[in-house]
Amino acid sequence: MAFSFLAREAGRVHVCGHRGYSLLYPENTLPAFEAAKAAGATTVEIDVVLTADGEPIVLHDLTVDRTTNGHGFAADLSLEQIRRLDAGGRFHPTFAGTKVPTVAEALDWAKADNMGVVLEIKEAERPDIAVDRVAALLRTTRTADRVIVISFDHVMLKRAVERHPGLRTEAITHARHADLVGVLRACSANSVSIELDMFSPDDAKALHQAGCSNRVHVPRPDVLAQYWRGGRDPLPELVQWIADGLIDTVSGDDVPFIAMLVKRAGRAG
């Protein structure tokens, strides 16, 4: 049976580690993915760009500067050059020597550990090629059943589905649209990713009636603390929405925290 991102089909609300367990582990690395699963995640969100030689790698930024000890655009570096970089030591010395993973490695890990993958195309210069390379990897690794490809670029998503029928896609939006289902239909997407402050129960019901799923990104506790200090708490309402089956995936950097919310709602499966 294919991995389902719809809670009603999966029998649970998914917990998604944003770039893995990125709060306490170097983002977009295998240690972060493994830690996310150990903390209760059933899916991980990863970011994809291409190397100079066209290899899809797991990296959020277009450059390697922020997360590694290297410098420059990934698109100007070969896979061999990127594999020589340290993607963990800058986060914490404990993780020194951690490598930037290839997408193939991330998919192999997900298959072996029965995890879902929310795969964001971050490649800016060659996005269509990135999609084609990812689609080829999904076939060779036999992981298409557990991956959903996501992007802010809805036009690119539409082209992706046209070239690769059956590819599951998710449109990212940071706004509340007048016709959210229409937005997804326009780009042939199966799901939407939305921030907590843009979530609406009515939109969720419309999405589910159309057979579409949603992924709601929840801020970290240190960000939510701003609400708590002001005497406001969005969590009881969020937990109720999860309990009511309105949310399919809860995503965030602090995996134990969002796993706790899903468990509190009685939707951990």
- Residues 67-126 pLDDT 10s: 999 999 999 999 999 999 999 999 999 999 999 999 999 999 999 999 999 999 999 999
Enzyme catalytic residues: 18, 60
Cβ–Cβ < 8 Å for 5, 220: no
pLDDT at position 174: 93
Reduce the secondary structure of 95-155 to three states and give it as a string: HCCCCCCEHHHHHHHHHHCCCEEEEEECCCCCHHHHHHHHHHHHHHHCCHHHEEEEECCHH
Cα–Cα dist 194/114, whole Å: 25
* DSSP 8-class letter at 63: B
Residue type, 251: S
Average pLDDT of the segment spanning 29-51: 98
The percent of residues above 70 in pLDDT, for the chain, comes to: 100
CA atoms of 188 and 245, how far apart (whole Å): 24
* pLDDT grade for 2, boundaries at 50, 70 and 90: confident
**What pLDDT does 67 receive?**
98
Of the pLDDT bands very low, low, confident and very high (cuts 50, 70, 90), residue 269 is: confident
- Kindly give the pairing relationship between strand 56-58 and strand 43-50: antiparallel
Q: Does pTM surpass 0.85?
A: yes
For residue 9, the Cα-to-chain-centroid distance in whole angstroms is 19
pLDDT of 248 > 90? The answer is yes
| Sign of the dihedral defined by the CA atoms of residues 11, 12, 17, 20, in that order | negative
In a 13 Å sphere around the CA of 150, the CA atoms on its Cβ side amount to: 23
Distance CA 146, CA 138 (A): 9
pLDDT in the model for residue 1: 56
Tell me how far apart the alpha carbons of residues 196 and 182 are, in angstroms, rounded to a whole number: 20
Over residues 50-55, the mean pLDDT reads 98
pLDDT, tens digit (0-9, with 9 covering 90-100), for 211-242: 999 999 999 999 999 999 999 999 999 999 99
